[in-house]
Amino acid sequence: MGRKIVVALGGNAILVDNPTAEAQKEAVRKTAEELVKFIENGYELIITHGNGPQVGNLLLQNLEANSKKNPAFPLDSLVAMTEGSIGYWLQNALQNALTKRKIDKQVATVITQVIVDQEDPAFQNPTKPIGPFYSEEEAEEEMKKGSGVYKEDANRGWRKVVPSPKPKGIKEIETISKLVDMGQIVIAAGGGGISVTEEKDGQLEGVEAVIDKDFASQQLANQLDAELFIILTGVDHVYVNYNQPDQKKLEKVTIEELHQYIEQNQFSPGSMLPKVEAAIDFVNKGENNKAVITSLEKIEQFISSNTGTIITK
């Protein structure tokens, strides 16, 4: 077998300005043309992806049509639906790219349940906004009806907020591992996976929560004993002093150096910080583990000359 790698796709790999299914499928087709380069170079590929805009749009559609005859679905079901739809787009596009190159490999999407801890502090302090904006009066009415917690969102109105707990494990890890061992390309843990809690009797219960896709991807990579964890985002490198005159790109960096940059508040909590933290966690858990943060467009350069931010112990 080749080197086992987990590649976490950023939102720009799927979403374009036009949110129609056809436009997103075209974006995914272009993404597949880049991802197949890993296969051509002998890697065993596991893919994860985001779903924020897609699950947000699906939630709005559900709420717009909500009625007694057609009730809106809860968040865990919506995450599962987008795992399926985006997984299908990726699976279809990758299979076509492989066929075009006469590469005999199959692609499988695994709808993935990610276990979270009921005692995670995130459940006591939900912070992840989802769904439409409400006035303060409307939000109070929704809370009286027991539909969740609502908070003001950057002076734009009130929105429902849900927890963002850390992932504890991947329920389908054995299935995913067996597929990888069979030489299949696997798409898993889409959108951070479906949040579930595990009861003492082993029963799984879906919960309204949003798991950060980078942490879920890191958890998957560690449980699969992958050698390489690649986070594809909108920039070619991680930067310090970003957008300042003394901006500096990081090419080869240790986790100790990254901890120092985190203490300096160099990385934005809403974008680069979770990526850096997920990369650190992955590298920490394996003696020879290596993580990479770069852009989709730089895949070929990474394969040929290690372009991107390379993170090691």
Q: For residue 160, indicate whether it is catalytic.
A: no
Per annotation, catalytic residue among 12, 57, 92, 96: 12
Catalytic, 128? Answer: yes
**Candidates 4, 160, 213, 290; catalytic one:** 213
CB atoms within 10 A of CB 275: 25
Catalytic residue among 11, 52, 157, 206: 11
Active site residue 213: yes
> Which helix H or strand E contains 185, and what residues bound it?
strand 185-188
Number of H helices, E strands in the chain: 9, 17
Side-chain-side CA neighbours of 281 within 13 Å: the count stands at: 19
Look up residue 56 and give its two tokens.
Answer: 């947000």
Give φ, ψ of 52 to 5 degrees. Answer: -50, -60
Q: Is 51 an annotated catalytic residue?
A: no
Indicate which residue of 4, 128, 160, 290 is catalytic. 128
| CB of 127 closer than 8 Å to CB of 66 | no
Q: Which of 4, 160, 275, 298 is catalytic?
A: 275
d(CA 196, CA 207): 6
**Non-local CB neighbours of 145 within 8 Å, separated by 6+ positions:** none
Q: Which amino acid is at 303?
A: I
H runs (alpha helix) in the chain = 21-40, 52-64, 75-100, 136-144, 173-181, 213-223, 255-263, 272-284, 299-305
User: CA-CA distance, 241 to 114, in Å (whole number)?
Assistant: 35
The β-bridge partners of 188 are 110
Bridge pairing between strands 228-233 and 290-295: parallel
Known active-site residue 241: no
Q: Which residues are catalytic?
A: 11-12, 128, 213, 275
